[in-house]
Amino acid sequence: MTADITKPLLGKNGNKPTEVGSTVTATVINLLKNMVGAGLLNVCVAFQYASVLGGLLIMLFSSFVCTGGFLLIGYCCSKTQAKTFRELWRSAMGQNTEKTVDVVLFFHTLFSCVGYVTMIGDFCIKSASGLMPDSIFARRRESSILVISLFGIFPLCLYKNLEPLKYTSVVGLFITAISCAYIFYDVVANAEEYHAAETLQDHMWYVKLDMFKTLALFNGSFSAHYNAPTYYAELKERTFLNYMRVSFWAFGIATLLFTAFGLAGFARFGDEVLGNVLKSYSPDDPMIQISWFCMMVSTVFNFPHAFQRMRSSFNALINRGPEDNFLVTTIVLLGLSVYMGVAFKDIAVIKMIKGATLGVSIMFIFPALFFLQLNQPIQMKRKCSGDVNDPNSKFRRRRRGNWLRVLCVIMMITGFVQGLLALLVHYKVI
C-alpha cells in the first residue's frame, strides 16, 4: 500500500470519482479508526466468558462473518452503482420501503453517538481526577462533556465531507496504540508476578452460555458497516478489488489487534478482569490516567464518523438534501446526543438492545437480503460481458454464487441468533 493519506474519504457532491477520492491506504486508516476505539477495552472480558481457545475460535468466526457482511455491501454497491444505503435498499428491496434503512441507520448511529458522549464524560473524569484533580474536568461530569463537545466535537462535526478527519484518524490510532502498548508492556514485564501464563493455561478451554456474550462483544467491535457504502463510493479508483483490499487489510489488522490485546488483558487479570479493562487497574497509576485521557481523545475522533451518518440519515428521512439547513441540523442533532449522554450515565441496556436489533440488521441481515435479492438480476445483466455462453464461465459464476448464498445464510442465522440470545440472556429468560 502507498503512504499517501492526503486524499479525502468523502468528496463533495457532484464530483466525479476521477477528480476526488480516497486512496486505499487512507481508507484503510479511516476504516480502522472507525472500528478501533473504546470498544477495544471490552474484548479482554470476552475471553473470560468463552475461555482462551473458545475466544480465539469465536474471534475467527466473528471476523469472518463481519468481513463477509462488509464485503457483501461493497459487492452490491459495485453492481448497482449505489453510493448510500438508501440507494442500495431501493435497488434491492424497492422504493416503497426505502425509509426503513434510514430509520435503522439513524437510531443506530444516534445511540452510538450517545454512547460516545457517555464514555467521553467517564474517561475525562477518571483521567482528570489524577492529572488535573483541581480542575472542573475532575469534579463535574456534565461540565466536562459540555466543554469537550463545544470545543472538540462540534468543530469536527461541521465538516461536510470528513476530508480533514484522515489526520485525526491517524492521531486517534496512534494514541490508542499508546494505551495498548502499556497493557502489553505491563503484562510482559511482570508476567511472573501476575502468573500470566498460568492464567491462560487454567482458562484454556471450557463451555459456558456466556460465550454468546463474547460473540456479541466481538461483533460490536467490528461494527463499521453503517459507513460501508461511503467507503466504497469515495474510493479514488472505485473498484470492488480495491474495496476488497481495504476490507482485508482493515479487518485483518483489527482482528490481530483485538486478539492480542484481549489475551494480554485477560492474562493480566484473569477472573478479576472487568468489562472495561482500564477499570481493573489502580486509578492512582499515572499511566492508567494517561490511558484514560488517550481513550477520551480517541473517542472524540471517533464521534464524527457516526455523527455524519446520523445527519445524512436524518436528512433523508425528512426528504431533504444532505446539506440543507446544515448548521441547524448539526446543532440540533449534536445537542440531542449530548443531552442524552449527560442524562443517561449508564446506557448498557440501550447499547445491548441496539446491538441485538439495529446492529445485527446493518451488519448481517441487510447485506444478506441485498445480495439474495440482487443475485438474479445481476447475473441477467452479465449478458453484455461476452462470456455468457462460455460453459466454464457459467460454472464459475454458479459456484461463486452458491458460496455467497451460503455466506448469506450464515450471516442471517448469526444475526438472528445473536440478537435473540442477547435479549434472552439480558432479561434472564435463559
Whether 92 is covered by a domain: the verdict is yes
Whether 14 is covered by a domain: the verdict is no
Query: pLDDT-derived band of residue 285, with 50, 70 and 90 as boundaries?
Result: confident
CB 419 within 8 A of CB 360: yes
pLDDT at 27: 92
pLDDT digits (tens, 9 = 90+) for 249-260: 999 999 999 999
| Per-residue pLDDT at 346 exceeds 70 | no
pLDDT at 131: 87
How many domains, the chain?
1
Query: pLDDT-derived band of residue 129, with 50, 70 and 90 as boundaries?
Result: confident
Whether 58 is covered by a domain: the verdict is yes
Whether 38 is covered by a domain: the verdict is yes
Whether 15 is covered by a domain: the verdict is no
| Per-residue pLDDT at 401 exceeds 60 | yes
pLDDT at 31: 93
CATH number at residue 412: 1.20.1730.10
pLDDT at 242: 96
Whether 2 is covered by a domain: the verdict is no
- Angle at which helices 286-317 and 99-131 cross, to 10°: 160
Whole-model pTM: value is 0.86
pLDDT at 165: 74
Query: pLDDT-derived band of residue 169, with 50, 70 and 90 as boundaries?
Result: confident
DSSP state of 345: S
| Per-residue pLDDT at 168 exceeds 90 | no
Q: What is the DSSP string of 90-120?
A: HHHH-GGGTHHHHHHHHHHHHHHHHHHHHHH
More confident residue, 348 or 148: 148
| Per-residue pLDDT at 390 exceeds 60 | no
Whether 10 is covered by a domain: the verdict is no
Query: pLDDT-derived band of residue 216, with 50, 70 and 90 as boundaries?
Result: confident
Q: Helix and strand tally (H, E) in the chain?
A: 20, 0
| Per-residue pLDDT at 270 exceeds 60 | yes
The residue range of the domain holding 350 is: 24-426
Average pLDDT of the residues in 409-415: 91
Exposure string (b/e) for 308-318, b if CB count within 10 Å is 16 or more? bbbbbbbbbee
Query: pLDDT-derived band of residue 215, with 50, 70 and 90 as boundaries?
Result: confident
| Per-residue pLDDT at 164 exceeds 60 | yes
